[in-house]
Amino acid sequence: MQAYDVIIIGAGFAGPVAAKKCADAGLKTLMLERSENVGEKVISGLTIPIYGFLFGPAFIRDGNPPIERPVDGIINYIITDIEKGEIEIDDTLKIPKPFAPIVAFGYNAYCKPFCEWEARKAIEAGAELRTSTLVTDVIVEAGCVQGIITETGEKIRSRIVINAEGSQGLVAIKAGVRRKYPPETISLADIYDYEMPKDRVDEIFGFSVRFCWGWDEQRCSPPLGHGNGLMVWPYRDSLHFMQDQCLRMDTSSVPNLKKMFAEYHHNITSKLPWWKHDVEPHARLRAHMWEGFEIYVGLHEELRSMPNHTDGMILVGDAAGLESTELCDGVPAAWISADIAADVAIEALKANDISRSFLSRYDERIKAHPILQWSISGTNRFNLRYAQHEHDLTKLRRYVHNGWGLGALTHVSTPLMKMLCRHIIANPMIIMQWMKMFFRYYYNWHHARFDYSAFPASAGKEFAGSKSDKRFRACFRLGQVFLMLCLPFIWILAILSFPLAEILNPAMKMLLPVIEPLYARILKLFAPISAQLSRSMVERVIRTDPKLFEG
């Protein structure tokens, strides 16, 4: 019987993050993955929101992970009558130029290459990986998890187990930490992947994701009565299309999703004007797949109060029910929770105490994390169903605006400010890392330059030393020096702002109705010059040596 310090169940988005940190700390770490190759059973439509990169694991922030496209905004289509083409647009949530698209809102990615990238980082740090290995149970001795049991009956002992097995939580249920989630907290996502030439994606979508919202009787996504929406993510040279529905609404009967999905997909692709005219002629279906994931676990009082640990085991990511109820996105929560779990595991092994009373510090840190808590308790998406019940267009517009328009500032400002302040207070130099990350990610995306990928060696190099490159490097360095000089002031500002963060959300609620029209007018006024500045910045960024953005 082999023995490890840490066993991690699952090598999706969360598992490798915990594995890398444990291995970096010198712990003997084993990751177990049921699929033959890492990431090939992970399905999602995916914009990984920026808070995952800013506040998540350092190796992701400072690394070169494979991304498909930066995202600088959301265009919401509110479909009130698909037959008559009555569609409203809310595109107020957008990073303004000239910051966009270098400063992004999040990054689109395919799951498999991203999870593989993470797993390779964990392996390089010294973690072991065993694939095609299904964990079916845990070893429990004296009331404490002491390792795992595979489907072949093999027992592998470890001092602690980090469970990153995903939503269904079959091992967690066996271990008595979870129960099967009720169907109204689960969403079934029906996902299509379309190939499309990159120049068409650039032209039609640019860096914006598109969400559609509408009434049930339109028979096109989303039937709000059952939950969620239709989302289209532009990737490098493809589109990811997802419609998703709760398996049941409250305690009503289960809808015929098989029939609904087929009908909605047909209707939306044949009736939605921009899909029909701009996308359909250029897109070719490449894959159709689906997955079940938890969406409203965080809004379920009983489930929310379940501990995320037991003696000898910690649950992370989807296995802990940490899916975002607003954005339908579990990746940042997976990263952040896995990072915290690894810290707690390291501390527990050092103190030689894996009891649930010691591990309860994991839950305390999860609960004290402003972004995690915001992400699992947002109610806009959930409330859309009431707009549907009442067929109230004003409500629908408001929820869409507050969820995925500028109105999001009324609930995200406080947690965001708290996290920004917390990080800056702890280490003001992180601002430099954030800045470099935005530039590097954009550069990497443009040149398809990622770790472990065949990087075109010439990319950018041909411009090195040119007059414009020299000028850009000088400006960039000057910016860095200026920022360095400002750091003490920013640090003081962060200390002073931290207590005020609490009032940011209510302040935004009061001020936004006044500020928003003004903000829109200013953006419009400066649109030509800011667009020119943005273009010129991008031109210079992609024509320089990427070493500028590293370290």
Partner 1 sequence: MSQKYPGVEWIDGTGTFITIETHKCTGCGNCVKVCLADCYEIAGGKATIKNLELCMECGSCWYVCTAEAIAFAWPKGGTGFRTRWG
- Distance of closest approach, residue 112 Cβ to partner 1, in angstroms: 5
- Distance of closest approach, residue 534 Cβ to partner 1, in angstroms: 31
Q: Which is nearer to partner 1, 287 or 495 (CB)?
A: 287
Comparing CA positions, the residue from 236, 295, 244 lying closest to residue 265 is 244
CA distance 300 to 212: 26
Which residues 25-64 are close enough to bind partner 1 by CB under 8 A? 34-37, 39-44
According to CB under 8 A, which one of 28, 80, 94, 112 is a site residue for partner 1? 112
According to CB under 8 A, which one of 180, 304, 367, 471 is a site residue for partner 1? 180
Comparing CA positions, the residue from 60, 100, 40, 550 lying closest to residue 332 is 60
Q: Which is nearer to partner 1, 276 or 286 (CB)?
A: 286
According to CB under 8 A, which one of 179, 198, 266, 286 is a site residue for partner 1? 286
CA distance 137 to 174: 6
Exposure string over 489-498, b if 16+ CB within 10 A, otherwise e: eebeebeebb
| Number of residues counted as binding partner 1 (CB under 8 A) | 50
Q: Which residue has the tokens 């689906």?
A: 290
Contact status: 452 vs partner 1 (CB under 8 A): no
Structure tokens, 415: 């947690």
Q: Which is nearer to partner 1, 180 or 389 (CB)?
A: 180
Between CA 22 and CA 29, with CA 26 as vertex, the angle to 5 degrees is: 50
- Distance of closest approach, residue 387 Cβ to partner 1, in angstroms: 25
Contact status: 206 vs partner 1 (CB under 8 A): no
DSSP symbol at 114: H
Give the range of 127-135, 336-344, 474-482, 540-548 binding partner 1 by CB under 8 A.
Answer: 127-135
Preceding omega of 222 cis (within 30 degrees of 0): yes
Contact status: 203 vs partner 1 (CB under 8 A): no
According to CB under 8 A, which one of 87, 134, 303, 542 is a site residue for partner 1? 134
Q: Which is nearer to partner 1, 40 or 516 (CB)?
A: 40
- Distance of closest approach, residue 77 Cβ to partner 1, in angstroms: 24
Q: Which is nearer to partner 1, 208 or 245 (CB)?
A: 245
- Distance of closest approach, residue 267 Cβ to partner 1, in angstroms: 17
Contact status: 132 vs partner 1 (CB under 8 A): yes
Count of Cβ atoms closer than 10 Å to residue 455 Cβ: 15
Contact status: 256 vs partner 1 (CB under 8 A): yes
Structure tokens, 114: 């991203």
Give the range of 289-297, 381-389, 471-479, 527-535 binding partner 1 by CB under 8 A.
Answer: 289-297
HEC readout, 320-343: HCCCCCCCCCCHHHHHHHHHHHHH
Structure tokens, 121: 């980082």
- Distance of closest approach, residue 193 Cβ to partner 1, in angstroms: 4
First and final C-alpha spacing in the chain: 42
According to CB under 8 A, which one of 186, 232, 416, 420 is a site residue for partner 1? 186
Comparing CA positions, the residue from 145, 158, 139 lying closest to residue 31 is 158
Exposure string over 458-484, b if 16+ CB within 10 A, otherwise e: ebbeebeeeeebeebbeebeeeeeeee
Q: Which is nearer to partner 1, 170 or 490 (CB)?
A: 170
Contact status: 388 vs partner 1 (CB under 8 A): no
According to CB under 8 A, which one of 141, 151, 203, 502 is a site residue for partner 1? 151
How many angstroms separate the Cα of 246 from the Cα of each of 6, 224, 296, 328, 432? 35, 10, 9, 12, 42
Comparing CA positions, the residue from 262, 265, 44 lying closest to residue 166 is 44
Give the range of 88-96, 290-298, 357-365, 386-394 binding partner 1 by CB under 8 A.
Answer: 290-298
CA dihedral 527, 533, 539, 545 (to 10 degrees): -140
According to CB under 8 A, which one of 94, 120, 157, 248 is a site residue for partner 1? 248
Q: Which is nearer to partner 1, 8 or 191 (CB)?
A: 191
Contact status: 300 vs partner 1 (CB under 8 A): no
Angle between the 409-426 and 430-447 helix axes, to the nearest 10 degrees?
A: 110
Chain contacts with partner 1 (rule: CB under 8 A): 34-37, 39-44, 110-113, 131-134, 136, 150-151, 167-168, 170, 180-183, 186, 188, 190-191, 193, 247-248, 254-259, 261, 285-292
